[in-house]
Amino acid sequence: MHSLTFQHLLSASNSSPHAILEALRSLDHAVYLYDNGTPFIACCAERYTVIQDDIIQTYQAVSFNQYEVVAPDLTINFTSKSTSDSTRFNGGFVGFISYDYAAQQQVHYRQRQQPALFIGQFSTYLELNPQGWIFKSSDPQAKHIFQQIQALLDQFQDKSEFNLVSPCTARWNKSAYQEAFSQVQEYIKAGDCYQINLTQEFSAQAKGSVLATAEQFWQLTNAPYAGYLRVGEFELLSCSPELFIEFQSERRIITKPIKGTMPRYIDPILDEQSKQTLKNSEKDQVENVMIVDLLRNDLSVYAETGSVKTPKLFNIESFNQVHHMVSEVQATLKKDVNPFNVLMSALPGGSITGAPKIRAMQIIEELEDAPRGAYCGSMGYFNFDGTGSWNILIRSIQKYQNEMSLWAGGGITISSDCDAEYQECFDKVEAMLNLLNTWYTPE
C-alpha cells in the first residue's frame, strides 16, 4: 500500500517554493511545508476534509482537480510498518488544525468565521532536492497528474497580487493590554492558574493573495517550520520557529516547547548580552519548566510508563529576530496508539495556553477580544506509517476573504512585568509587521 510507483524531475524556470506555489495556485489545496530543511509541496489530494462553522465536509477526487462531496469522515488510519524514509514526507496526511477547533474539544471557545481544520490525504507530492523539484506519486493516475503539473509550470505567467486596504495595527492599545494583564495577575493570585499565555491580534483589511508576500516573509524569518496552504478563500502563511510534536520511527515522539524570548541586535556585543540575559533569566526558566511539566503530563497519557524524558532544558536557540529558550521532551508511545489521536489530545500546545491548561483556555476565552483562529494551532503532516511533524502556528498570517491577522503574545506569571510583556509582543512580530505594512499605500 502507498508504495512509490512514479517519480520524475519537473522542469521549472524558477525553483523557489513561492514560484512553484504561484504556478500551482489553480489547485485549491496545494500545501507547502519547509519541514526543518526538507521542503515539499503536497498536491492533488485523493480526499480531504474541511471543518468550518462546526460543519464537517469531506471531498473525494473524481478526476484531476475535480472533487465530489462524500460522507463526512475525519478518521485517519495508518499502516503499521514504516515502508521508506520516515524522517521526511513520503505521502500521507497534510493540513492544519486551528486553535479554535482544538480548544473547543475541551472548553467552550468561540470560532473564527473561517476554516477551522483542513486535512488532506496525499499520495502525490513535489520534493525539493539539489536537482530541483521531483514529482513523486503512488496515485494510479500518476503519469497523467505529472503531465498536468508540468503543464501548469510551463504555462505560468501572472503572479498573484496583494495589497493592504488599511495598515496592520494592534487590536489593543497599551491601556487595554494593561487591563487584560492585570486581570491575569488577579487570577494567578486567586489560585486559578499559574501561567497564562496572553496574546493579541494585529489586523488589517487586505485584497489579493497572501502568497504574493510569502517569499519575503520566509527570507525575513528563516523559519524552520514555515508553510503555506489555501482552502477556498482562506490562506495560512506560517513563519513558525516552533516544533510541536515530531513523530519518529519506533513510536518515539519529541516536543520542543518555546517559552522565553529576548530580541536580537545587529551589534554582536549587545546581541550576546541579550542572549545571556535570557539564558540566566530565572523568570523565563520558571515559565519554561511549567510548560515542560504540562507537556510531560499531556504526553504521558499515551506514552509507555517511564519513557517520558527531558533531555534538554533551557537551551537558547537564536532566530533572525529573537533568541528563544527551548526545552525538549521525549517519550515512546504505547503500542497500537493512533498518532493522530495523540496530536488531537495534546492540542492546543501547552506553550501557547498556560497552566493548568483547561483553566488557562477558559481565561484566554474570557480576556482575549477575538478568537485566535489558526494562530496557536498546528500545521504539519503524517506519513502513512504514522511518522510526521507538526508545528505550533506562531509568527503566522491568516487571511479569510478580506480580513487578515497576525498575532503575538507571551506567558504571564506572578513575576511578570507588564511593560516588558507588552514589548515582547512587538519583539516577536515587529519585523513581520513592518514588512507587511510595506503593502499598504495610503490613497
* Residue 26 CB burial class (10 angstroms; 0-12, 13-18, ≥19): exposed
Distances (CA, A) of 64 to 6, 44, 101, 127: 17, 7, 30, 20
**Phi and psi based region of residue 418 (left: phi greater than 0; alpha: psi -120 to 50; beta: remaining):** alpha
The rounded distance, in Å, linking the Cα atoms of 244 and 251 is 16
From 136, 256, 259, 428, active-site residue = 259
Helices within 48-141 (DSSP H only): 99-104
Phi, psi of 368 (to 5 degrees): -80, 135
Active site residue 242: yes
Sort strands 132-137 and 258-263 into parallel, antiparallel or unpaired.
unpaired
The rounded distance, in Å, linking the Cα atoms of 88 and 22 is 23
For 178, the grid coordinates are 494593561
Contact 408, 202 (CB under 8 A): yes
Distances (CA, A) of 82 to 134, 195, 215, 279: 21, 39, 34, 39
From 22, 235, 242, 424, active-site residue = 242
* Residue 403 CB burial class (10 angstroms; 0-12, 13-18, ≥19): middle
Helices within 208-281 (DSSP H only): 214-221, 268-279
Residue 220 makes CB contacts below 8 A (sequence gap 6+) with: 239, 320, 431, 432, 435
- Bridge partners (DSSP) of residue 206 are 164
Contact 205, 403 (CB under 8 A): yes
Contact 300, 330 (CB under 8 A): no
Residues noted as catalytic: 242, 259
